Structure 1
Amino acid sequence: MSSLFLWEIGTPVVYVMWIIVFAAQILISEINRRWTWTIFALWTIGGIALMPYAAIHGTPMVGWFPFGKYVIMVATATMTGFLLWYGTKNPAKARRYAIWFGVALWIGLAVNIMEANIRDITIFFENDTYLACAADPSCLKAINESHVGIDMINGLPESRGISEPVGSDAWYAAVAANFAANGVGIDPATGFRTIGGYWNIITAIAGVLNIITITGLGKIYVTSNKNQKVKGLIWADMVWPWVIAYDLWNHAFLYNALSDYTWYCTLALLLAATIPAFTWAKGQWIWFRCFTLMFWIAMNNLLPQLLVPPSSIQNFSTMDPTANKVCAWAAFISNVALFVYWLYKIRTTGRNPLRDPLYAEMKEFRTIMNEHADNKDKWWMTDMIKPTPVELGFAPDTDTPPDDGWVGWMPWWKKDNRYHKPRTPLSSDAVLMAKNIAPTGSEAAATSDRGVSH
C-alpha cells in the first residue's frame, strides 16, 4: 500500500504534527469555553492588534483572501463569545429574543458554506485554466514570484526526483512536465494543486442542502442546569445527522479546493469539533467549530511561511480523481438523506424548522436537554411544539410548567402564538405584558388550571 487513498503515507513527523494540531485546536476551544474572557483577550483584542502584522507579513505570501477570512473569523469569534456572555448575564432577554442568536449564528455559518460552494463551482469551470497553468513553466514561475518570501512549487510531489537546479528554467520545465503527465492542475492565484470535475458540482449541491437543513434557530440557549460547572452555548437541534452531513460536505469541498492541506484542515479540524460535540460537550458543535476554525485561520495568517508552502509537515493528497468522487458522493448522499429526513420531520410534526426544535424526539436531543437545561428551559424549549417535556423524556422537575419560567417568543408576533397546551404564562414576562401582547385562550386558565390544554 503506497497511500492512504486520500493522502500519501507520510513520515512520522506528519503523524506527530497531526496529533499536536488536533490537540491544540481542542485545547484552545476548551479554554475559550471555560473562561469567556479569553475570547476577547485572544481573538478580539489580540486578533485586531495583529491584523496589521497579518496584512503586512502574510498577504505578500498568500494573498488577501486568507486575510479576509481572518478578519471575518475575528468578528465571528467575538460575536459567538458575546452571545455566551450575554446569555449568561441576561437569561430572560436571551430566551425572549433567542431567534436573533440563531439568526446571527446562521448568517455566519451559511455565508461560510455558500462561499465554499462558489469556490467549488469556480474550480469546475476553471479546471482547464488550472491544468494549463500547471503544464506551463512560466505560470509556475509566476506563482512563486507572486508569493513573496515562500516557494509554493518546490516540495510538491511533482518536484520530486528532478536533478536540475531548483528555480532554474529547466527545473520549472521538468515540474510542468510532471504536472502534465499526472493530469493535475494548479490555481495560479493561490498556488494550490487541484483537479476539477463533476464532483465539484455535486459537492456544491450538498452544501446548499446543508444550509437549507439548518434548524432550531429560535431555541438556542446557555446552559442552565446547575449541575454543569461549565456553561455552553447550546444549539440542541444541531444533532448528529446534520453534523455528520456537514463534516462530509466540508471535507469534500476542501479536498476539491485545498487537497494538500486536508490532512490538517479537515481530518484534524473537523474531528476537533465533532468529537467534543458527541462526548463531553453535547449540543455545542457550533462553539467548537467556531474556535477551532478561528485558531487554524489565525495560525495560517500569522505563520504562513511555516504552514502554507510545501514542506515535510504536510501529508500531500494523492490527487486521484477517484478520491474526489468518493468524497463528493459521500457528501451528496448524506445531505440528500438529511434533506429527506428534514422534510419528513416537518411534514409529520408540522413544525417550523427555523423557529422550532425539529429533532426533539431524538435520543441525543433528550440527552442534551437533561444535561444542560433546568426546569424553566425544558418547558421553554417545548412551548411552540405539541409534546411536553414530560412526554419527550426531558425529566422536568414538575409535570406542570413554572409560573416564573421563560416565554418563547418571536419579535414580530402580536399575540401569544405558542402551542395551545400547558405552558409558562405570558404574564411571567413583564416586558411582553407591557407591550400589551394579546394572549391566546384564557390567561387565567393558563395560570390557574395548568393541567388543562387550551
Structure 2
Amino acid sequence: MNILYKGLTFESFFALVLFIGAVLLVNEISRRSKLMSVVIYGILPVVLAAGVFFGVLGSPTGKTWFAWVKVVSALAGVYGFLLIRHTKLGSSKFAAYFPAAILALNIAEAIYREFEVYATYRALTVDAGGVLVQGGVWNLLNGIAGILTIITLTGFVGIRVSNDRTRDMIWPDMTWMYIIGYTLWNFTYVYNCISTRSMYAGFGILLAAIIAEYAFKRGAWLQHRAQILAFYAMFSLSVDFQAATFFQILPTYSPQVLMGLSASSLAVNAGLLAYTLYAVAKTKRNPLRQEVFVHTAGYKATIAANHL
C-alpha cells in the first residue's frame, strides 16, 4: 500500500471501513424514503451552509472554488434525479437528457481542474484549500481520459424508473465496463488534484457507489454516485475530519505512480471507447437515440432486477 499511500494503520483502515459504511447507510436511507431524501439533501445543506457562514463549521476545503462547485453540481444531480423518480418528469425527455448532461458537466469540471493543476502547480505545492498537489504530464493524460468518459456515454434515452417501491432511476445501458472506466478515471483525478483527501474523496466514495450498485440496487449506479458524492461534499466542506490522525492516509506523491495511474486511466478508457464503437457498428444503433448494449447479459439482468 506504500506505493499509493502512506500512513495506513489498523486504526486508519478501520476508520475507512466505518466511513464507507456510513455513506452507504445514508444512501440507502435516502434511497428508500422520499422524506429522508428531502431532509438529507434539502434541509441539511441549508443547515450546514449556515454553520459555515457563521463560522460554527468549516474546513480548508471550502476555500477553493472547485469544492463549492462540486457541492452545487452534485446536489443539482440529486434534485434532478428525485424529480425523475417521483414526478411526471420521469416519463418525459427530461429523464433521458438531464442525467447525461449533469454527469457530463460533473466530468467537465474535473477535466478543467486537471488542466488547471497542470498549468499552476508544476512543483509540489499546498493549494488554497490546504491540499498538497503536484502537477505534471499526468494531468493531461487523465484530462483526456475524462473526455473519453463523456464520449462513451450511451443509451441515456433508455433511462427509466424502476417498477418497485423505491422508484430508483435506472440506466440499463450503463455497463459495468463504463462504471470501471469512470471509477478509474475519477480516482486518478482525485489522486492527482485533491491528493491529500483522495483516500476518502476518491477511493472511499467510489467503492461505496460500486457496492451500492451490485449489493443493493442494480442499474442505479449514477443515482448512488450522486447521492454519496453530494453527502460527502457537504460533509467535507463543513467538517475538517481529516485533521484527526486516524483519517490521515496520505498519498506518496511519487511521479512514477502519478504517471502510471493516469496512463492506466487513459488506456482503459481508450479501450472502452474502442469497444463502444465496435458495439455501435455491430448493432447499427445510434448511441444518442438508442440503447446500444441491449444484447448483453448485464443489460438483461438490470431490466429483470427492476421489473422493467
1:181-196 matched pairs, under 5 angstroms: 185-196=124-135
> Which residue matches 1:203?
142
TM-score (norm 2): 0.92
1:294 alignment partner AA: A
CA contact (8 A) 2:7 2:248 kept: no
Distance 1:205 1:292, change over 3 A: same
Name the structure 2 match of 1:257. 193
| CA distance in 2: counterparts of 1:73 and 1:241, whole angstroms | 23
Equivalents in 2 of 1:330, 1:59: separation in Å? 35
For the 8 Å contact 2:77–2:226, the answer to whether it is kept is yes
Structure 1 gap ranges (5+): 132-184, 375-454
Name the counterpart of 1:244. 180
CA 1:343–1:315 in structure 2 vs 1: closer, same or farther (change >3 Å)? same
Determine which of 3, 6, 12 is the counterpart of 2:4.
6
Q: 2:275 aligns with which of 341, 351, 368?
A: 341
Q: Secondary structure of the equivalent of 2:160?
A: strand
Q: Distance in 1 between matches of 2:48 and 2:187?
A: 29
Which 5+ residue runs of structure 2 have no aligned equivalent?
Answer: none
Contact 2:8 2:249 in 1 (8 A): yes
Higher gyration radius (CA): 1
Please tell me the residue identity of whatever aligns with 1:70: V
1:272 to 193, 197, 208: 208
Aligned residue in 2 for 1:84: 85
Instruction: Report the CA distance shift for 1:283/1:60 in structure 2 as closer, same or farther (over 3 A).
Output: closer
What residue is the counterpart of 1:94 in the other structure? 90
Give the Cα separation in 2 of the matches to 1:55 and 1:186. Answer: 27
In structure 2, how many angstroms separate the alpha carbons of the residues matched to 1:51 and 1:9?
A: 32
Report the secondary structure of 1:50's partner residue. Answer: helix
Identify the match of residue 120 of structure 1 among 114, 123, 131.
Answer: 114
The AA in structure 1 aligned to 2:141 is I
Paired-residue identity, %: 25
Separation (CA, whole Å) in 2 of partners of 1:52 and 1:82: 25
Instruction: Tell me which residue corresponds to 1:63.
Output: 63
3-state secondary structure, aligned to 2:154: coil
Residue equivalent to 2:230: 294
How many angstroms apart in 2 are the aligned matches of 1:109 and 1:199? 23
1:46 pairs with 37, 44, 47, which one?
44
User: What is the CA–CA distance in structure 2 between the aligned matches of 1:113 and 1:68, rounded to whole Å?
Assistant: 12
Q: Would the alpha carbon gap of residues 5 and 291 (structure 1) be closer, same or farther in structure 2, given more than 3 Å must change?
A: same
**8 Å contact 2:83–2:90 — kept in the other structure?**
no
Structure in which a larger fraction of residues adopt helix: 2
Deviation at 1:59, TM superposition (A): 6.3
CA distance in 2, matches of 1:259, 1:310: 17
1:427 maps to none
Counterparts of 1:25-40 in structure 2, within 5 Å, are 25-40=23-38
The answer for the alignment partner of 1:358 in structure 2 is 292
- Provide the TM-score with structure 1 as the length reference: 0.64
- Of structures 1 and 2, the one scoring higher in RCO (CA 8 A, sep 6+) is 2
How big is the shift at 1:190? Answer: 2.4
Q: Which residue of 1 aligns with 2:220?
A: 284
Aligned to 2:251: 317
CA distance in 2, matches of 1:344, 1:331: 20
TM-fit CA distance, 1:366: 0.6
After TM superposition, which residue ranges in structure 1, 4 or more long, deviate above 4 angstroms? none
Q: Note if 1:74 corresponds to 2:75.
A: yes
Q: Deviation at 1:279?
A: 3.4
Mapped partners of 1:312, 1:370: distance in 2: 42
Higher mean C-alpha displacement, 330-339 vs 7-16? 7-16
Displacement of 1:121 in angstroms is: 1.0
- Relative to structure 1, the CA distance from residue 48 to residue 71 in structure 2 (aligned partners, 3 Å threshold; closer, same or farther) is farther
Query: Taking structure 1 as reference, are residues 197 and 68 closer, same or farther at Cα in structure 2, changes over 3 Å only?
Result: closer
Give the corresponding residue for 2:102: 108
- Give the corresponding residue for 1:16: 14
Q: Distance in 2 between matches of 1:215 and 1:122?
A: 28
Alignment RMSD: 1.9
